[in-house]
Protein backbone atom coordinates (compact mmCIF):
# COMPACT_ATOMS: atom_id res chain seq x y z
CA UNK A 1 0.00 0.00 0.00
CA UNK A 2 1.38 3.38 -1.03
CA UNK A 3 0.64 6.34 1.19
CA UNK A 4 -0.09 9.55 -0.67
CA UNK A 5 1.71 12.81 0.05
CA UNK A 6 -1.52 14.30 1.38
CA UNK A 7 -2.11 11.43 3.78
CA UNK A 8 1.49 11.51 4.95
CA UNK A 9 1.23 15.24 5.57
CA UNK A 10 -1.79 14.66 7.80
CA UNK A 11 0.13 12.04 9.78
CA UNK A 12 3.18 14.25 10.18
CA UNK A 13 1.04 17.12 11.46
CA UNK A 14 0.11 14.95 14.43
CA UNK A 15 3.69 14.09 15.33
CA UNK A 16 5.90 16.03 17.74
CA UNK A 17 8.91 17.80 16.30
CA UNK A 18 11.42 15.10 17.13
CA UNK A 19 9.37 12.45 15.32
CA UNK A 20 8.93 14.69 12.29
CA UNK A 21 12.69 15.06 12.03
CA UNK A 22 13.14 11.29 12.20
CA UNK A 23 10.40 10.76 9.62
CA UNK A 24 12.17 13.10 7.21
CA UNK A 25 15.08 10.63 7.04
CA UNK A 26 13.00 7.62 5.98
CA UNK A 27 13.18 8.30 2.25
CA UNK A 28 13.46 11.10 -0.28
CA UNK A 29 9.69 11.15 -0.67
CA UNK A 30 9.14 11.46 3.07
CA UNK A 31 11.85 14.10 3.30
CA UNK A 32 10.07 16.12 0.62
CA UNK A 33 6.72 16.00 2.44
CA UNK A 34 8.39 16.75 5.77
CA UNK A 35 9.55 20.08 4.35
CA UNK A 36 5.97 21.29 3.85
CA UNK A 37 5.60 24.75 5.47
CA UNK A 38 2.33 23.78 7.18
CA UNK A 39 4.37 21.54 9.48
CA UNK A 40 6.59 24.33 10.71
CA UNK A 41 4.33 27.20 11.76
CA UNK A 42 4.92 26.17 15.36
CA UNK A 43 7.81 24.48 17.18
CA UNK A 44 7.21 23.03 20.63
CA UNK A 45 10.48 22.19 22.36
CA UNK A 46 9.22 22.57 25.91
CA UNK A 47 11.12 20.40 28.41
CA UNK A 48 13.35 19.20 25.57
CA UNK A 49 16.84 18.23 26.71
CA UNK A 50 18.17 18.53 23.15
CA UNK A 51 16.51 21.82 22.22
CA UNK A 52 19.78 23.35 21.00
CA UNK A 53 20.23 20.46 18.58
CA UNK A 54 16.77 20.91 17.08
CA UNK A 55 17.10 24.67 16.85
CA UNK A 56 20.10 24.18 14.59
CA UNK A 57 17.72 22.57 12.10
CA UNK A 58 15.51 25.65 11.88
CA UNK A 59 17.57 27.45 9.20
CA UNK A 60 17.27 24.31 7.06
CA UNK A 61 13.48 24.60 6.88
CA UNK A 62 12.15 25.92 3.56
CA UNK A 63 11.28 29.60 3.88
CA UNK A 64 11.65 29.35 7.65
CA UNK A 65 11.80 33.11 8.16
CA UNK A 66 8.28 33.50 6.80
CA UNK A 67 6.92 30.16 8.02
CA UNK A 68 7.82 29.92 11.70
CA UNK A 69 5.36 31.95 13.80
CA UNK A 70 5.42 30.32 17.22
CA UNK A 71 8.13 28.72 19.34
CA UNK A 72 7.90 27.23 22.82
CA UNK A 73 11.19 26.70 24.67
CA UNK A 74 9.70 26.51 28.16
CA UNK A 75 12.08 24.65 30.49
CA UNK A 76 14.21 23.66 27.49
CA UNK A 77 17.50 22.75 29.13
CA UNK A 78 20.66 24.42 27.94
CA UNK A 79 19.24 26.92 25.46
CA UNK A 80 21.66 29.84 25.08
CA UNK A 81 21.82 33.23 23.39
CA UNK A 82 23.65 31.57 20.51
CA UNK A 83 20.65 29.33 19.91
CA UNK A 84 18.34 32.34 19.77
CA UNK A 85 20.51 33.85 17.04
CA UNK A 86 19.28 31.05 14.77
CA UNK A 87 15.75 32.44 15.09
CA UNK A 88 16.57 36.02 14.18
CA UNK A 89 14.57 37.18 11.20
CA UNK A 90 11.76 34.67 11.71
CA UNK A 91 8.24 36.08 11.59
CA UNK A 92 7.63 35.10 15.21
CA UNK A 93 4.32 36.05 16.78
CA UNK A 94 4.44 33.88 19.93
CA UNK A 95 7.64 33.44 21.96
CA UNK A 96 7.80 31.32 25.13
CA UNK A 97 11.15 31.36 26.92
CA UNK A 98 9.85 30.45 30.36
CA UNK A 99 12.57 29.37 32.81
CA UNK A 100 15.34 29.37 30.21
CA UNK A 101 17.86 30.38 32.83
CA UNK A 102 20.92 30.43 30.57
CA UNK A 103 19.48 33.15 28.36
CA UNK A 104 20.57 36.72 29.02
CA UNK A 105 18.72 39.97 28.55
CA UNK A 106 21.12 40.84 25.72
CA UNK A 107 20.30 37.64 23.82
CA UNK A 108 16.55 37.97 24.30
CA UNK A 109 16.57 41.64 23.32
CA UNK A 110 18.57 40.88 20.18
CA UNK A 111 15.93 38.35 19.08
CA UNK A 112 13.01 40.60 19.94
CA UNK A 113 14.49 43.41 17.86
CA UNK A 114 14.25 41.13 14.80
CA UNK A 115 10.62 40.11 15.39
CA UNK A 116 8.30 43.11 14.92
CA UNK A 117 5.12 41.01 14.78
CA UNK A 118 5.42 39.52 18.25
CA UNK A 119 2.05 39.44 20.00
CA UNK A 120 2.84 37.17 22.95
CA UNK A 121 6.08 37.00 24.98
CA UNK A 122 6.51 34.83 28.07
CA UNK A 123 9.70 35.09 30.15
CA UNK A 124 8.59 33.47 33.40
CA UNK A 125 11.26 33.11 36.05
CA UNK A 126 14.33 34.32 34.23
CA UNK A 127 16.39 36.31 36.70
CA UNK A 128 18.58 37.64 33.88
CA UNK A 129 15.74 39.60 32.31
CA UNK A 130 16.07 43.36 32.81
CA UNK A 131 14.47 46.50 31.44
CA UNK A 132 16.67 46.05 28.36
CA UNK A 133 14.22 43.43 27.08
CA UNK A 134 11.25 45.72 27.69
CA UNK A 135 12.98 48.57 25.87
CA UNK A 136 13.47 46.24 22.89
CA UNK A 137 9.82 45.18 22.96
CA UNK A 138 8.71 48.80 23.15
CA UNK A 139 10.89 49.79 20.21
CA UNK A 140 9.91 46.89 17.98
CA UNK A 141 6.62 45.20 18.92
CA UNK A 142 3.61 47.56 18.93
CA UNK A 143 1.20 44.63 18.45
CA UNK A 144 2.12 43.00 21.77
CA UNK A 145 -0.96 41.75 23.64
CA UNK A 146 0.41 39.17 26.12
CA UNK A 147 3.42 39.74 28.38
CA UNK A 148 4.47 37.34 31.15
CA UNK A 149 7.26 38.65 33.38
CA UNK A 150 6.43 36.51 36.40
CA UNK A 151 9.48 36.17 38.61
CA UNK A 152 11.60 38.59 36.55
CA UNK A 153 12.72 40.39 39.68
CA UNK A 154 15.01 42.92 37.97
CA UNK A 155 12.18 44.63 36.10
CA UNK A 156 11.43 48.18 37.32
CA UNK A 157 9.00 51.01 36.67
CA UNK A 158 11.18 52.38 33.85
CA UNK A 159 10.71 49.22 31.82
CA UNK A 160 6.99 48.98 32.50
CA UNK A 161 6.41 52.63 31.63
CA UNK A 162 8.28 52.28 28.35
CA UNK A 163 6.47 49.16 27.20
CA UNK A 164 3.07 50.49 28.32
CA UNK A 165 3.44 53.64 26.27
CA UNK A 166 4.57 51.78 23.15
CA UNK A 167 2.33 48.69 23.37
CA UNK A 168 -1.19 50.03 23.98
CA UNK A 169 -2.83 46.77 22.86
CA UNK A 170 -1.62 44.84 25.92
CA UNK A 171 -4.41 42.64 27.26
CA UNK A 172 -2.70 40.14 29.59
CA UNK A 173 0.17 41.19 31.87
CA UNK A 174 1.77 39.05 34.58
CA UNK A 175 4.07 40.87 37.02
CA UNK A 176 4.07 38.23 39.75
CA UNK A 177 6.90 38.86 42.23
CA UNK A 178 8.20 41.87 40.30
CA UNK A 179 8.86 43.68 43.55
CA UNK A 180 10.61 46.71 42.03
CA UNK A 181 7.50 47.69 40.08
CA UNK A 182 5.68 50.30 42.15
CA UNK A 183 2.39 52.15 41.98
CA UNK A 184 3.89 54.41 39.30
CA UNK A 185 4.39 51.48 36.95
CA UNK A 186 0.87 50.14 37.42
CA UNK A 187 -0.66 53.58 36.98
CA UNK A 188 1.17 53.94 33.68
CA UNK A 189 -0.14 50.55 32.54
CA UNK A 190 -3.70 51.56 33.32
CA UNK A 191 -3.31 54.91 31.59
CA UNK A 192 -1.81 53.65 28.34
CA UNK A 193 -3.26 50.13 27.99
CA UNK A 194 -7.06 50.48 28.06
CA UNK A 195 -7.62 46.98 26.67
CA UNK A 196 -6.16 45.20 29.72
CA UNK A 197 -8.21 42.13 30.63
CA UNK A 198 -5.89 40.29 33.03
CA UNK A 199 -3.41 41.81 35.46
CA UNK A 200 -1.50 39.54 37.81
CA UNK A 201 0.40 41.13 40.71
CA UNK A 202 0.76 38.10 42.96
CA UNK A 203 3.13 38.74 45.89
CA UNK A 204 3.66 42.37 44.90
CA UNK A 205 3.39 43.60 48.46
CA UNK A 206 4.22 47.25 47.74
CA UNK A 207 1.13 48.06 45.69
CA UNK A 208 -1.26 50.52 47.37
CA UNK A 209 -4.73 51.97 46.90
CA UNK A 210 -3.19 54.66 44.68
CA UNK A 211 -2.41 52.12 41.97
CA UNK A 212 -5.72 50.30 42.26
CA UNK A 213 -7.53 53.63 41.95
CA UNK A 214 -6.20 53.90 38.39
CA UNK A 215 -7.72 50.54 37.45
CA UNK A 216 -11.23 51.97 37.45
CA UNK A 217 -10.58 53.16 33.90
CA UNK A 218 -10.08 49.57 32.72
CA UNK A 219 -13.55 48.75 31.46
CA UNK A 220 -12.45 45.41 29.98
CA UNK A 221 -10.65 44.13 33.09
CA UNK A 222 -11.81 40.58 33.85
CA UNK A 223 -9.14 39.20 36.22
CA UNK A 224 -6.92 40.79 38.82
CA UNK A 225 -4.57 39.03 41.23
CA UNK A 226 -3.75 41.07 44.34
CA UNK A 227 -2.66 38.17 46.54
CA UNK A 228 -0.25 39.50 49.14
CA UNK A 229 -1.07 43.17 48.52
CA UNK A 230 -0.86 43.89 52.23
CA UNK A 231 -1.20 47.66 51.87
CA UNK A 232 -4.48 47.90 49.99
CA UNK A 233 -7.63 48.72 51.93
CA UNK A 234 -11.36 48.62 51.42
CA UNK A 235 -10.96 51.72 49.25
CA UNK A 236 -9.42 49.50 46.58
CA UNK A 237 -12.31 47.07 46.74
CA UNK A 238 -14.73 49.93 46.31
CA UNK A 239 -12.92 50.91 43.10
CA UNK A 240 -12.83 47.35 41.77
CA UNK A 241 -16.53 46.88 42.46
CA UNK A 242 -17.20 49.36 39.66
CA UNK A 243 -15.23 47.44 37.01
CA UNK A 244 -18.14 46.10 34.92
CA UNK A 245 -16.49 42.96 33.52
CA UNK A 246 -14.42 41.88 36.52
CA UNK A 247 -15.19 38.23 37.31
CA UNK A 248 -12.05 36.93 39.05
CA UNK A 249 -10.26 38.60 41.96
CA UNK A 250 -7.59 37.12 44.23
CA UNK A 251 -7.43 39.00 47.54
CA UNK A 252 -5.64 36.36 49.60
CA UNK A 253 -3.43 37.91 52.28
CA UNK A 254 -4.73 41.40 51.50
CA UNK A 255 -5.03 41.89 55.24
CA UNK A 256 -6.17 45.51 55.35
CA UNK A 257 -8.99 44.93 52.89
CA UNK A 258 -11.00 43.20 55.54
CA UNK A 259 -14.39 44.76 56.01
CA UNK A 260 -15.63 44.78 52.42
CA UNK A 261 -13.92 41.61 51.25
CA UNK A 262 -16.72 39.11 52.02
CA UNK A 263 -19.34 41.36 50.44
CA UNK A 264 -17.12 42.05 47.44
CA UNK A 265 -16.59 38.34 46.85
CA UNK A 266 -20.33 37.73 47.00
CA UNK A 267 -20.96 40.44 44.41
CA UNK A 268 -18.33 38.98 42.08
CA UNK A 269 -19.79 35.48 42.38
CA UNK A 270 -23.21 36.76 41.39
CA UNK A 271 -21.99 38.44 38.18
* Residues 149 and 16 placed together within one structural domain of the fold: no
Average pLDDT over residues 23-46: 83
pLDDT more than 70, % of the chain: 92
Range 133-156 average pLDDT:
98
Q: What strand order describes the sheet that includes 120-122?
A: 42-44, 70-72, 94-96, 120-122, 146-148, 172-174, 198-200, 223-225, 248-250
Supply the DSSP string of 159-182, one letter for each residue. Answer: HHHHHHHH-TT--EEE-TT-TT--
Q: Single out the residue of 162, 114, 115, 110 nearest to residue 143, CA to CA.
A: 115
Question: Of the segments 50-59, 62-71, 169-178, which one has the largest average pLDDT value?
Answer: 169-178
Q: Please give the tally of structural domains in the chain.
A: 2
Instruction: Summarize the confidence of residues 211-220 as an average pLDDT.
Output: 96
Q: Is the pLDDT of residue 269 over 70?
A: no
Confidence of residue 265 (pLDDT cuts 50, 70, 90): low
Same domain, residue pair 94 and 188: yes
Tell me the residue range of the domain where 88 lies: 40-270
* Residue 58: predicted pLDDT: 80
Residue 62 pLDDT: 67
List the one residue out of 2, 207, 83, 17 whose CA is nearest residue 189. 207
Q: What is the pLDDT of residue 259?
A: 52
Residues of the chain with pLDDT > 90: what percent? 67
User: Alpha-carbon distance 12 to 14, whole Å?
Assistant: 5
Strand 146-148 and strand 223-225: pairing?
A: unpaired
| Whether residue 138 sits in one domain with residue 115 | yes
Judgement on whether residues 241 and 194 belong to the same structural domain of the protein: yes
| Residues 188 and 155 reside in one and the same domain | yes
Supply φ then ψ for residue 270, to 5 degrees. -85, -10
Amino acid sequence: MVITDGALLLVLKRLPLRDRVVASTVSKAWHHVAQHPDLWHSLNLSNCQAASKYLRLVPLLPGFKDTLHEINLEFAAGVTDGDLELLQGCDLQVLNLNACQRLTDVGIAALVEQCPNLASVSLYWNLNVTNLVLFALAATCPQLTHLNLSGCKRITDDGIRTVAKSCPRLMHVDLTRCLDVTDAGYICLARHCPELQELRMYACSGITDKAVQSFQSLSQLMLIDLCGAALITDASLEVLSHCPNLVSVNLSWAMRAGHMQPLFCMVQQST
